[in-house]
Amino acid sequence: MRLKLHISPCPNDTFMFDALVNGRIDTGSLRFEVEYHDIEELNRGAGLGRADISKISCAVLPAIAEHYALLDSGAALGRGNGPLLVRRAGDTRPIRRVTVPGLHTTANALMGKLFPQIEECTPLLFSRIAAAVERGDFDAGVLIHEGRFVYRERELELVADLGQLWEQRTALPLPLGGIAARRSLPDEVRHEAERLLRTSIEYAFTHPEASRTYIKQHAQELDDKVIDAHIALFVNGYSLSLGDEGRRAVEALTGVIP
Q: Enumerate the active-site residues.
A: 145
53 known member of a binding site: no
Beta bridge partners of 2: 31
Instruction: Name, in order, each residue with C-beta under 8 angstroms of 196's C-beta and a sequence gap of 6 or more.
Output: 20, 25, 27, 28, 30
55 known member of a binding site: yes
Instruction: Name, in order, each residue with C-beta under 8 angstroms of 199's C-beta and a sequence gap of 6 or more.
Output: 19, 20, 25
56 known member of a binding site: yes
User: Which 3-state string (H, E, C) describes the chain?
Assistant: CEEEEEECCCHHHHHHHHHHHCCCCCCCCCEEEEEECCHHHHHHHHHCCCCCEEEEEHHHHHHHCCCEEECCCCCEEECCCCCEEEEECCCCCCCCEEEECCCCCHHHHHHHHHCCCCCEEEECCHHHHHHHHHHCCCCEEEECCCHHHHHHHCCEEEEEEHHHHHHHHHCCCEEEEEEEEECCCCHHHHHHHHHHHHHHHHHHHHCCCCCHHHHHHHCCCCCHHHHHHHHHHHCCHHHHCCHHHHHHHHHHHHCCCC
Binding site residue list for substrate: 55-57, 106-107
Binding-site members are 55-57, 106-107
